[in-house]
Structure 1
Amino acid sequence: MGTDDGMQLAYYIVLLVVIGGAMLFELSGRGGQAIRQMMLWVVIFAGATLAATWWTDSGARQQVLEGGRIEIPVGRDGHFHLEAELNGVPIRFMVDTGASSIALGRDDARAIGIDLADLAYVGTAMTANGEVKTAPVTIDEIAIGDIVDRNVRAWVIGGEMDGSLLGMSYLRTFARVSFEGDLLVLER
């Protein structure tokens, strides 16, 4: 469960406690009626949560189409997020045209089999949070649907970074990178 999911769950729990507490206070002393109304509110709350989750997630997945075309819809946060398999492990990237190369967060690097203790942080990068040390690595395989690239250069970020960035060094491997409304389109 991600940080955003945890915060959303906490919000829903607090909302349920507030509504439930108000209902109990209002209906105290009316036993059977109070239980029926509480159950009704639980069903309404569950239905609203399900509908909200379905609505925000529907259509928000990338599509890999024939001919090497990838369509990535804009996320709720206004950024484009692409999922790729690195060395067989699914990794979620934020597409960043301001990043010069692939920047892996430490957790993602560890997940794809990179031993962080063996890295030499010989480079530096300027980020929104200031300058950070970077270590060059080679990713054995990046797969996005049928599109597979091997021996791809990347950098592991030495500082704290949530997730990983897919920068220009990889985006340049596509013949076309364009925006079509709320879609980012990559074509080989």
Structure 2
Amino acid sequence: MQDFEIANLIYLSALGAVLISWYFVQNKGGLSKLVRDGAAWVFIFVGTMAVIGLWGDIRQNIMPRQMVMTETGQVELPRASDGHYYVDLEINGNTVPFMVDTGATSVVLTQSDAARIGLDPDTLVFFTQAMTANGPVDTAPVTLDQVTLGKFQDSRIPAYVNGGDMDMSLLGMTYLNRFESIQITKSKMILER
């Protein structure tokens, strides 16, 4: 667990303990009413925790992430509620989610995504560096054998595996430059070949 998750768990546990204590103090009366009302509060608390825990999955389903292929050979990526554009690519037969980053020079994979496509992070050599907003980070150069986006297939795409922590892989300009046009409108990014 990350520190943020542990802090949230401690906070919610303390809040739950306070609510339960308050409830027992307020309901000194009948035990059956106390048990019935207590069970209702437990169900509400567990339901709230379930929604919080599943919010990432719910958000993925609500928030449009995948491209829409048009008849004219365009890829349309809807803008997500956070203002970014996301797309799933198939790399070496495995689906990898990316955040489109026109400010990134290269395609950069997280270590978990690298492992998903068959690259063993333990055998990678992190001898190059990239400058990020948080400073320099070690990277390992790799080549992606087969990359598919809808009907577009590309081979031998240069990329890097990030040696540090990263939330998700970045789709940078070494891949985006394969498109003739990149257009950003109010609600979508349009890639065209």
Which residue number in structure 1 is paired with residue 9 of structure 2?
10
Q: How does 1:168-179 map to 2 (within 5 A)?
A: 168-179=173-184
Q: What's 2:154 paired with?
A: 149
Select the residue among 60, 77, 80 that pairs with 1:74.
Answer: 80
Partners of 2:66 and 2:87 within 8 A in 1: no
Partner of 2:142: 137
Equivalent position to 2:102, from 89, 92, 97:
97
Match of 1:128 among 101, 118, 133: 133
Question: How do residues 11-30 of structure 1 correspond to structure 2 at under 5 angstroms?
Answer: 13-14=12-13, 15-30=15-30
Q: 1:62 aligns with which of 56, 62, 65?
A: 65
Quick one: distance in 1 between partners of 2:59 and 2:11? 16
Deviations 1:114-155 (A, max 9, x none): 133443444322112222333221112223344432221111
TM-score by length of 1: 0.73
Query: What amino acid maps onto 1:62 in structure 2?
Result: R
Q: Report how far residue 63 of structure 1 moved.
A: 2.9
Q: What secondary structure sits across from 2:105 in the alignment?
A: coil
Q: Find the residue that maps to 1:90 and give its secondary structure.
A: strand
State how far apart, in whole Å, the 1-side matches of 2:11 and 2:148 are.
Answer: 36
The alpha-carbon distance between structure 1 residues 90 and 24, as it changes in their structure 2 partners (threshold 3 A), is farther
What is the letter of the counterpart of residue 87 of structure 1? N
Percentage of matched positions with identical amino acids: 34
36-45 or 109-118, larger mean C-alpha shift: 36-45
Give the paired residue count.
186
User: What is the aligned partner in structure 2 of residue 162 from structure 1?
Assistant: 167
1:84 and 1:5 map into 2 onto residues whose CA distance is 30
Equivalent pair of 1:27/1:34 in contact (CA under 8 Å)? yes
Structure 2 counterpart SS, 1:159: coil
The Cα RMSD (Å) is 3.6
Structure 2 distance, partners of 1:100, 1:118, is 24
Q: Using the TM superposition, give the Cα deviation of residue 30 of structure 1 relative to its aligned residue in structure 2, in angstroms.
A: 2.9
CA shift for structure 1 position 40: 3.1
Q: Distance in 1 between matches of 2:25 and 2:63?
A: 41
Cα distance in 2 for residues equivalent to 1:61 and 1:8: 30
Structure 1 counterpart of 2:22, one-letter code: A
